[in-house]
Amino acid sequence: MNDWTVLGPELLSALGQTLYMVAVTLLLAGLLGLLVGVGLYVTRRGNILEHRAVHEAINLVVNFVRPIPFIILLAALGPVTEDVVGTRLGPNAAIFAMTIGAMFAVARIVEQNLMSVDPGVVEAARSMGVSRGRIITTVILPEALGPLVLGYTFLVIGITDMSAMAGAIGAGGLGDFALRLGYQRFNDEVTWAAVAVIVVLVQLVQLVGNRMARRILRR
Amino acid sequence: MTAPADPDRTRHPDGEVIVRFEDVTKTFVTGPAKARREVVAVDGVSLEIRRGEIFGVIGYSGAGKSTLVRLINGLEPITSGSLTVNGFEVAGRKETELAPVRQEIGMIFQQFNLFTSRTVAGNVEYPLKRAGWPKDKRRARVAELLEFVGLSGRAGNYPEQLSGGQKQRVGIARALATSPKLLLADESTSALDPDTTQEVLQVLQRVNRELGITIVLITHEMDVVRAIADHVAVMQDGKVVEHGSTVDIFARPRTGTARRFVSSVLHSVPDEREVERLRRAHHGRLVIVDVGDGVDIGGVLSDGAARGVRFTIAYGGISVLQEESFGSLTFELIGEDTAVQDVVDELSRITTLREVAA
Ligand SMILES: Nc1ncnc2c1ncn2[C@@H]1O[C@H](COP(=O)(O)OP(=O)(O)OP(=O)(O)O)[C@@H](O)[C@H]1O
Ligand SMILES: [Mg+2]
């Protein structure tokens, strides 16, 4: 039998570590990815800052980073992480790698959602003499807000997934808990306890995301 | 609202030129580098649009109408020629330099292009926010504009809760927010049913008459031109093939394109099929004459009758447009050959006459 008086607090602190890593990564990757995604969108052909070379350059970087499996990226980024964060280990090192890994996925999500904005409203704003920077912040982003929220919600699941591998560099979290105390000790109950917590977490995020998107989209 | 313009001047615009096209060409380059294709969307157009008028531009799909208006506010740069708005040369300007001109030009669209993330009031307020109006002034202006387009009760609605006609009226209110001098309307009624079209056209007419705003009205429907345009330019393959006052174009279309547009609303001249039918039913001499104010066709026909020439009206229609009547009638003339010939000669002398081949 498992002693949950010991395991319980450990699970809780693992949850805390996961929440911390996911939240900070979501914020950083969300912002950086938004910038890159907007960059991809506006430099596209026919868009307000059309620029082929810049678009292709960003595209190349995105396509280069995206397919790298996260566990490999985590290891490969080691030296860079050390330069930036000061250490290769622990939650902050994990956050750095997760941010790099996630921001390019965010960039694609953002680009795709912005492409669904009716070019007609952009044209309307241009006809009013609104500057291109203003068009991005006051027309394009607000018009795409509903789908963007759904995209970010989807992203949380991906980041949670990444965070499970953070145990590999000693960052703890629910994935680490499940692997170390469950899988490696052939203790299915512990593994499934971690799974249950993750499922509940993701469900909650999805619920909130859906609600917000519905509100924004008035449906 | 802004001071109403002198209605007389509005009806008979002799105001200064507000938009001047001089030999303007717009070429689009499309396709991949290997297979470049050039489309000349606007081809050597010279036009003058005067302050206070409603200037219609009509043409079939692909004629270059949308491109032509989009040049005026610089949404597309011109390829060659000169284009001035209020004396400001638009050609060769950067996007940032165009901002002040664009604030003087409102634009409405076929698909309305309202911001779906903003309410009706939010849409109308948007250009005011961008122009840096303080909040209380914005609010008063929005109320005034919604009142003008008859949508005061809809301020808090979102675009998807409105009918097409209502959406276009929001579009008009938004375009007028910063008191432009010129309004560009690209197929502004083409997505609407006939009743709603009339409703929107009436609002546009009030924009012109009460606010003195010059309107460039793009359409492919001659009915729209007939309803409110003072002048009209007919476009075909990127060129303006004919332009003049609406009455002139309706009464005396010179090109085939203009004639087809006119006959799409005035069915006064028989088309080929109808001519065939007329030929079967009538065996006398068939002539088509233009009628109009001061053309005394009755007099000629009575003189003919005195010499035994009978006539039947086989086809025709007469309309009144801006107090001038015009149209055409197709007569069958029956009688002794020389007497009929005299009637035909006399008619040709007083008006345009075309003979329907036997
Ligand atoms: N951005 C563009 N790139 C390439 N070709 C274009 C572009 N915009 C317009 N064209 C071409 O220019 C020509 C004129 O198009 P335009 O849209 O001005 O016609 P239109 O008279 O407004 O037609 P419609 O009644 O269908 O709106 C067409 O051959 C069109 O394919
Ligand atoms: Mg068009």
B170-209 residue pLDDT tens:
999 999 999 999 999 998 888 888 888 888 999 999 999 9
Other beta carbons within 10 Å of B161:
13
Torsion of CA B64, B68, B74, B79, to 10 degrees: 70
B96 and B185 together in one domain: yes
Question: For the domain A4-217, what is the CATH superfamily, name and number?
Answer: MetI-like (1.10.3720.10)
Q: Which residues of B touch A132 (CB under 8 A)?
A: 95
A51-81 residue pLDDT tens:
888 988 998 988 888 888 878 877 788 887 8
Tell which residue, A2, A135, A52, has the closest CA to residue B115.
Answer: A135
Is it the case that residue B214 has pLDDT exceeding 90? Answer: yes
B250 and B291 together in one domain: no
B348 and B250 together in one domain: no
- Give B288→chain A minimum CA distance, Å: 47
What is the number of structural domains in chain B?
A: 2
Q: Which two tokens stand for residue B37?
A: 């294709």
Nearest CA to ligand 1 atom 22: B66
- How far from each other are the two terminal CA atoms of chain B, in whole angstroms? 62
pLDDT band at B109 (very low <50, low <70, confident <90, very high): very high
User: d(Cα A71, Cα A76) in Å, to the nearest integer?
Assistant: 9
B198 and B345 together in one domain: no
Domain boundary among B225, B243, B265: B265
B310 and B214 together in one domain: no
Given this model, what pLDDT does residue B239 score?
Answer: 92
Tokens 């309309």 locate to B319
Residues of the domain holding B331: 272-355
Mean pLDDT, range A8-37, rounded to an integer: 87
- Ligand 1 binding pocket mutation candidate from B37, B58, B65 (most atoms within 8 A of CB): B65
Q: For residues A79 and A134, which has the higher predicted lDDT (pLDDT)?
A: A134
B37-49 residue pLDDT tens:
888 999 999 999 9
Question: What is the A69 CA–ligand 2 centroid distance (Å)?
Answer: 48
Mutate to test the interface with B, among A47, A49, A126, A127 (most CBs of B within 10 A): A127
Question: What is the B68 CA–ligand 2 centroid distance (Å)?
Answer: 9
- The phi, psi pair for B301, rounded to 5°, reads -70, -35
Ligand 1 atom nearest B40 alpha carbon: 12
Is it the case that residue B30 has pLDDT exceeding 50? Answer: yes
Size of interface A-B (CB pairs under 8 A): 65
- How far from each other are the two terminal CA atoms of chain A, in whole angstroms? 49
Question: What is the B70 CA–ligand 1 centroid distance (Å)?
Answer: 11
Asked if the Cβ–Cβ distance from A131 to B96 is below 8 Å, we say yes
Residue numbers of A between 121 and 180 with CB closer than 8 Å to B: 121, 123-132, 134, 138-139, 142-143, 145
What is the domain-level CATH number for residue B64?
3.40.50.300
Given this model, what pLDDT does residue A101 score?
Answer: 87
Question: What is the B66 CA–ligand 1 centroid distance (Å)?
Answer: 7
Mean pLDDT, range B289-298, rounded to an integer: 83
Q: For residues B291 and B68, which has the higher predicted lDDT (pLDDT)?
A: B68
Residue of chain A whose alpha carbon sits nearest to that of B177 = A128
Beta pairing, strands B310-321 & B285-292: unpaired
B257 and B276 together in one domain: no
Given this model, what pLDDT does residue A66 score?
Answer: 82
Mean pLDDT, range B134-150, rounded to an integer: 93
Given this model, what pLDDT does residue A168 score?
Answer: 67
| Highest-confidence segment of A82-91, A176-185, B8-17, B55-64 | B55-64
Whether residue B56 is contained in a domain is answered as yes
Name the average pLDDT for chain B: 87
Beta pairing, strands B80-85 & B88-89: antiparallel
A141-183 residue pLDDT tens:
999 998 898 888 888 888 888 887 777 676 777 777 777 776 6
Q: Please state the domain extents for chain A.
A: 4-217
What is the domain-level CATH number for residue B337?
3.30.70.260
| Highest-confidence segment of A139-143, B299-303, B333-337 | A139-143
